Structure formats: C-alpha cells, structure tokens
Amino acid sequence: MFEYQSKKLLKQAGIPIPEGMVVSSPEEASEAARKLARSVVLKAQVWATGRAEKGGIKFTDSPEEAAAAARDMFGLKIKNLSVEKILVEEKIDIESEYFAGLVIDDAAKSPVMIFSSMGGTGIEEAAGEHPDKVVRASVDVLKGFREFEARDLIRRTGISGGTLTRLSRTLAKFYAISREYDARSAEMNPLVLSKQGQVYAADCHFVVDDYAVFRHPDLGIEVAREFDRPPTELEKIAYLVERNDHRGTFYFFQMLDEVSKKENAIGFNGAGGGGSMMSMDAVLDRGFKLANYCDTSGNPSASKVYRAAKIILSQPNIKGYFASGSGVASQEQFHSARGLTKAFGEEKIAIPAVLRLGGNFEEKAIEILHTYLKDIPGKVEGYGRDDAPEFCAERMKKLITENQFLPHKVRPVTEPEIKERAYSFKTVTGEIHIDHEKCGRCAAKGCVEACSPGILKLEKDMPVLAISREEAEKGKCTECLACEIFCTYHEQDAIFIRLPIPGLKEYREKVIKEQKKESRERE
Amino acid sequence: MSILVNERSKVLVQGITGREGMVRTRLMKDYGTNVRAGVTPGKGGQEIYGVPVFDSVKQAREECGDFDISVVFVPAFLVKDAALEAFDAGVKLAVLIPDRVPINDVLELARVSKQEGARFVGPNTLGLVSPGKAVLGMIGGRAESAREWFRSGSIGVSSRSGGMTSAISYYLTQAGLGQSTIIHVGGDAVVGLSHPEVLLLFEEDPDTEVMVMFGEIGTTQEERVADLVSGGRLRKPVVAYIGGKAAKSGTRFSHAGAIVEGSRGSHESKVELLKKAGVHVADVLSDIPKRAGQLLKERGRKR
C-alpha cells in the first residue's frame, strides 16, 4: 500500500496524521498548498524506500514553489518507478522523532511491538548502535496490546509525562488497526512530537497479509502479492487466473523488466517452493537469466497449468521453457503434462522446452509430452524423478545452443471457429465444444475412454455428457483436457476446449506491435 | 518407533467430503492409517471409503471415541475454526493442509494450542508419514507411491518444502536408507511445529539415528536449530540443505523485520551458523544421502 493509503487507516483508528491531500498534477499541488495555507511538504508516492535521497521529498513555502517542486517530482524515476501521485501535507515543526513497528516473531509465534525513542531515516543502523533506545514487547493475540502495556514499554526508553501517555494511546490504537487489517508488518517512522506537543504519524507503512486480503475488500488491493513494486500487466492477468480457479497454486512474477533478443533468458515454470528454488539455482548456475518465476503446484488442474504456460509464453525473446519441481511430486503429473501439451500445441513453439515432471504417474506424463509434442518446431524433452535438475539444466543449455538462441516470438491469441451446431457445455472455468459432424467420421471414439472423471458417454454413436450440464459446470468435469488431446492427435480434431484468459489477447496484441516495430527498426 | 503418528493413532479427517479430503482419505486408508471418522458440517450420515461422516467433531467423538489427530482439509479461511473445534474436542495434534491461511489465524492457533497442551503441523503442509505405519495428509499422493518412495528406517526428515520432503526421502530410500518419520513442517512464515521443535522430537525418538533438514531462506528456524546444536540439546547428527541461494534477498523483509532479525534469515547466515555449530551442510541434493549414510555408519560403529 502507498503511504497515503496507510495513513487513511491510521486516521480511521484515531491516530493524528498531518493534514494533507493526494494530487496528480502540479496545478493540483499548488491548489493543495493554497488550501493548507502554510508551509507544506511534498512526498512522492512510490513503492520504494530511500525516496528522500532521490528528490522524492521537498519542503516548500508557497503554492508557486509547490507547483514547481511537483513539476520536477512528476518527472522523477525512483528505483525505476515513475511518480504518479504526490502527497501534499502540512509541514510539522518537529520536536522529536520516534519509531514504532509491529512485526511477527516466527520463533515466539506472536506479534512483537517495537518502539524506539529515535526515529527517522537510518533507524536500522541507529538501533544497532544504541540498543538501549529500542524496546520490544511480545503481544498476546487473545488479549491485544493495551494502553498500560504500551506505557510500560515506552517508559523503558526514559520517556515520561504527557508525551508518554499520548504515545501510549497512539501505540495501542496502532496495534488495534494493524490487527484489524491483518497487517503482516506495520510501521510508523517517524512518529513525531511537534513543538506544540502533539503526536503525529508523519509517515507510515502497512504490509497487509496476502492471505487475508479477501477480508478487506475496502482496501481495494488489486493483486494480493507481497511485491516491492506495483504489479506488471502480465502479473495482473496471471493473478486473475489464480483468483478464478482455486484448484492448486499458480504464482507468477516477472524477474526482468524486458528480455532483449540477445539476453540468455528462459521462461521458468517451477512446481513447489523448495523444488522451484533448487531448480532455479541449477539454471542460474549455468549462466541463464530467468524472465519470470512461476510456481504451479498443489495439484493444479490441467487447465490452470495450460493458462500458466500461455502466460509464460507471452514473454517475447525467451530462449527456452524450463519446467522443474522437486522431482518427486505427490500431485498427478499427467495433469501438468496435458496442460503443457495443449498450450505448446496451440502456440507451436519454436523454442526448446525441458520439462522435468517427476512424481506420481511421471511415466504417463512424459509419454504424453513425447507423443503429442514431437512434431512442433521446438524440441521438447520430458524427464522424471531420477533426472537431477542439474542434468536437466544442462540439457536446456544444449538445446538452446542447438537452436542457435532463437528468440521466442509471441503469437496472437486465436481460436478455431465454433460451429453453431456444435455440442457444447460449460466447465468450471471454460467451455467444451464438440463438432458432432466430424465425430461421424471418427472410428475410435477414444474421447469417452480418455475422459478421466468419466463424464462422457456415447449416444447414437456421438460423445455427449453422461451427467447433467449443471454438474459438469460445477466441477464434475475436471478440465483434464484428455478428450481434446486425444481427438486432436488421434482423430478428427472435433473437440475444442475454450479456456479464456481475460486480458491476454489485448496484452499480446501490444507485445506483437512492439515486436513488429523492433524488426522494422532493424531493417 | 516414530514421532507424532503411528499405526495405532486414531485419526479424524475434517473436510472429508471435499475434493482433496476425499482423495487423500483414500490414500490414508489404503496406506493403513487408522482413520476413524470424518467431519463436514451439513453432510453427516454419509460414508467416504467406509469412513463415517459427522456434522461436528463433538458428534464424531460421541460416536467413535477420542481422536489423537485431526487432518484438516477445509478451505483456508475456515481452517482456524476447524482446528479450534478439534482442540476443543481434545485432539492433541492437528495437521493443517491448506495454504493461504491468514497469518493472524495461525498466531491465534499457536496461542490457543499452547494453552490446551496441543500441537499442530502446518498450515500449507503436505503432511507427514511414518513409513510402514501411517500417513497423514497428502504426502505420496497415493498409497502405492508412498510405499515405493518411503521405507522404514532410522533417518528423521524435516522439510520446509513439500515436494522436497518427498524428493529427499525418495533419494534416501534409493540409497538404501529408511526413514523413521518424514515431516513437511509447512511453507509459511509461521508454522505450528517448526524445524527446531521437530528435531527435538527426533532427538527423543530411540529409533531415529540421523536427522535430515531441508531449510530455506526466511524465518529463523534454521538458526534456532544451529543454536540447539551449539547448546548441546541436539546431539544426534544433522545433515542440512538450505534452498534459495540464488533467490533475490531483501524482497521478503520489510524494514521493521530487519531490526528484529538483523542479518538472520539470509542464505549465508543460515549456512554459516549451521556449519559453525557442526551441522553437515550439503551443497547439492545428492550429497544428502551420501552424508546421511556415512553418519549412520559412524554411529553404528560407536555403539
């Protein structure tokens, strides 16, 4: 959350904050300064620390000065982030600065309130040098952090009198609001005492627990991920996929701002935190960069892995696709194999892929990959639990070299035409269309047999649902993709499973435009 | 012997009628876990793989007697209530499978379980297995795999990564080294039983000779293990691997966290402290079975 958003919460809790407003243009900044009618401070709203040194904080004495300062600030890039909003606040005459923070102690399994009689920038170093000025108290979550506890805590730094009571009251409220909004960590730094004896939270920062964002729709958090920067467009698309499908985990973030044609970067698809990190180490050790980090685990549906692959393949110029997890996964690996098969088949990727899908049913998973992906332009190799990640990373390197470092070209999102007469039904996150006219030419009717939940049957020799449409839509159809893959590769290509990814079509159009522009420029 | 679970432990499954609950109940039953009953509010009266389903834990207890353990498969936002219900009915160990459980819920469970003299594993755990005796959760995926991958023996395995829990144990089995109990402590920042607590249980277990720990960056679990080894409270040999060498540090830690932890939590800090304490830190995964095998032999000679 931005500073101004965090401050809104403090205000809600009754903690005094400097009077101020958020602006998005120099004109608004001068208007704000006029309204406040005193000296003001302009603070750039960016997700980065150390903004003061980069010119992200300025004090001004008149509306004209405020407009000029805002003009400079809107042009700034702080840690690669452009300034889009500025907080204009009354300037406070500061008597003293303090620090207050709430963190979670994983050893004690409880929140810890930290208070320091020194605040402001460089508090970490200062705290190291003056341990006597930093005090901590473990909080009993069943009781909360009460004012008398705050008093006993702050007292230990030598603060007394009215300041002690005012700070204690603030600290107790600070705990309550942090807890109410499920903050994973929160800090007020500096917490200041003005020359007039008032306590203000001059700056504050809340990090809301990703897992609890659902409890706080009023915060309007778009992407519940603990990033140190705003999410990219592709990350937002990925987050929607995760939010709309609770089967398994899909976590995606980009590690490079941009992949150039020359960069030796790959698309990464890990499975499970530990296995992913180990696999990452193996590829990084071989001189690769990772365009993205991605984790598809916790027994995801084939459709979720399909969407993950489509998103990874929306990154231009990657040189290969590397999937690897722990190697001994409890999840049924053929789901991942089918998801990858559908995605790679549609994309007809020309870059090589090394897919280490060790674990339950790995033999079946590898067989699916090798059977159905042998004819796409890029080479696909599947591996299992007895193939170490180091070996697989070595294979990736070899294949990319053999492929002469061909960069991945992003293709537009296309769909086959769906005939009006097609037999169609909805699934949890998509729809299935079967062209019965083509089915008439099919000898095998293998789709019914391939269907893992067994929800298809033959009626007048045509595949139809053996259950009600409602049941299929509610999840009896697990979107295992087996029927489509069978039909596409063994028979008439009569089945199409539509799995929409909101926003991806438009995103790719933009990427393709860029691709074209780049190649024109080179000519 | 083994820790936390054996073939006699009486097990309850909460959320037994859900997608994962059903599939994993089958795994547990097939493997030989003593699953006595299941609970899904509003679905009482059914049977899942021969296990009777009740509307509440109390009702299940009235019908089936006390439970030692509850394995929880309910959606993340209901995990706290489910675990509190289990503790209230006298369950002493809850295994919390779901991920994305709010951290405040976990803190509350930690506080209440302490008061009740109960413990919990997870959240965000694949579960645990005492090979040849019982499996809790979804580790192994299905009974055939669990039997093939894990063998009974004297190495205790504790891991913060689910997949790696299975991977390490499988590679130990391949090297002819069986396991006493294998436990995935869970991937979250705060978990019920963490590495130091699990390793102390292995220390007390007469059948565990060597311990293997798969650690990761973040939290203070591995540092606390180093402290226990230095302080002489863990005397059995420990082989450790710390993942996340290449992961970008700093993204997970806010300012406030840095004040409390100092340099703790990073890959270097963990490896350095563990090595200093005399723990065998493996550089690549394949070193783990090698080192564990050597240490097991050495212990055999000393006896």
pLDDT digits (tens, 9 = 90+) for B161-194: 888 899 999 999 999 999 999 999 998 889 999 9
> What's residue A126's pLDDT?
73
Q: For residues A20-49, b (16+ Cβ closer than 10 Å) or e, as one string?
A: bbbbeebebbbbbbeebeebbbbbbbbbee
Question: Binning pLDDT at 50, 70 and 90, where does residue A274 land?
Answer: confident
A126 and A183 housed in the same domain: yes
Quote the ipTM score. Answer: 0.89
Cβ atoms A211, B100 nearer than 8 A? yes
A73 and A128 housed in the same domain: no
Question: Which residue type is seen at B188?
Answer: D
Question: Which residue type is seen at B264?
Answer: R
Cβ partners under 8 Å of residue B57, min gap 6: B12, B14, B39, B67, B70, B85, B86, B88, B89, B91
Indicate the residue among A219, A244, A279 that finishes a domain: A219
Q: Is B163 on the interface with A (CB under 8 A)?
A: yes
Query: Cα–Cα distance between B139 and B143 in angstroms, integer?
Result: 9
Domain count, chain B: 1
User: Which CATH number do you get for residue B207?
Assistant: 3.40.50.261
Cβ atoms A90, A35 nearer than 8 A? no
A344 and A256 housed in the same domain: yes
**What is the span of the domain harbouring residue B20?**
11-302
- Cα–Cα separations (whole angstroms), residue A102 to A112, A227, B170: 6, 19, 41
User: Which CATH number do you get for residue A437?
Assistant: 3.30.70.20
Average pLDDT of the segment spanning B257-283: 76
- What is chain B's mean pLDDT, rounded? 91
pTM attached to this predicted model: 0.86
Specify if A71 maps to a domain.
Answer: yes
- Cα–Cα separations (whole angstroms), residue A348 to A378, A380, A408, A409: 8, 11, 11, 11
Question: Binning pLDDT at 50, 70 and 90, where does residue A255 land?
Answer: confident
CA distance A227 to chain B (A): 7
Specify if A409 maps to a domain.
Answer: no
* A-chain residues near B286 (CB < 8 A): 388
- Cα–Cα separations (whole angstroms), residue A300 to A51, A355, B97: 41, 16, 15
> What's residue B207's pLDDT?
93
Specify if B4 maps to a domain.
Answer: no
Cβ partners under 8 Å of residue B283, min gap 6: none
Percent of chain A scored above 90 by pLDDT? 67
Q: What distance, in Å, lies between the first and last C-alpha atoms of chain A?
A: 44
What residues 78-97 of chain B have any CB closer than 8 A to a CB of chain A?
none
SS3 A231: coil
Q: Is A141 on the interface with B (CB under 8 A)?
A: yes
Specify if B6 maps to a domain.
Answer: no
* A-chain residues near B224 (CB < 8 A): 107
SS3 A182: coil
Cβ atoms A18, A49 nearer than 8 A? no
User: Which CATH number do you get for residue A328?
Assistant: 3.40.50.261
A329 and A359 housed in the same domain: yes
Specify if A509 maps to a domain.
Answer: no
Specify if A30 maps to a domain.
Answer: yes
Q: Residue A106 and residue B246: Cβ atoms within 8 Å?
A: no
Domain count, chain A: 4
Nearest Cα neighbor of A22 from A9, A3, A49 is A3
A384 and A477 housed in the same domain: no
CA distance B163 to chain A (A): 5
A46 and A114 housed in the same domain: no
Specify if A51 maps to a domain.
Answer: yes
Specify if A3 maps to a domain.
Answer: no
Half-sphere exposure of A81 (CA within 13 A, CB side): 21
What residues 404-463 of chain A have any CB closer than 8 A to a CB of chain B?
none
Q: Is A82 on the interface with B (CB under 8 A)?
A: no
Cβ atoms A439, A448 nearer than 8 A? no
Question: Binning pLDDT at 50, 70 and 90, where does residue A153 land?
Answer: very high
Question: Binning pLDDT at 50, 70 and 90, where does residue A299 land?
Answer: confident
What residues 171-230 of chain B have any CB closer than 8 A to a CB of chain A?
187, 189-190, 194, 214, 216, 219-221, 224
**What is the span of the domain harbouring residue A181?**
97-219
SS3 A90: strand
> What's residue B264's pLDDT?
63
- Cα–Cα separations (whole angstroms), residue B202 to B1, B119, B212: 10, 16, 10
- What is chain A's mean pLDDT, rounded? 91
What are the tokens at A468?
Answer: 């009600």
Percent of chain B scored above 90 by pLDDT? 81
Specify if B225 maps to a domain.
Answer: yes
Average pLDDT of the segment spanning A342-346: 96
Indicate the residue among A402, A435, A468 that finishes a domain: A402
Residue of A1, A6, A47, A106 for testing the chain B interface, max B β-carbons within 10 Å: A106
A380 and A480 housed in the same domain: no
A286 and A146 housed in the same domain: no
Lookup result for tokens 């110029």:
A317
Residues of B serving a catalytic function are 255
> Strand A110-116 vs strand A199-201: parallel, antiparallel, or unpaired?
unpaired
Question: Which residue type is seen at B106?
Answer: V
Cβ atoms A108, A137 nearer than 8 A? no
CA distance B88 to chain A (A): 16
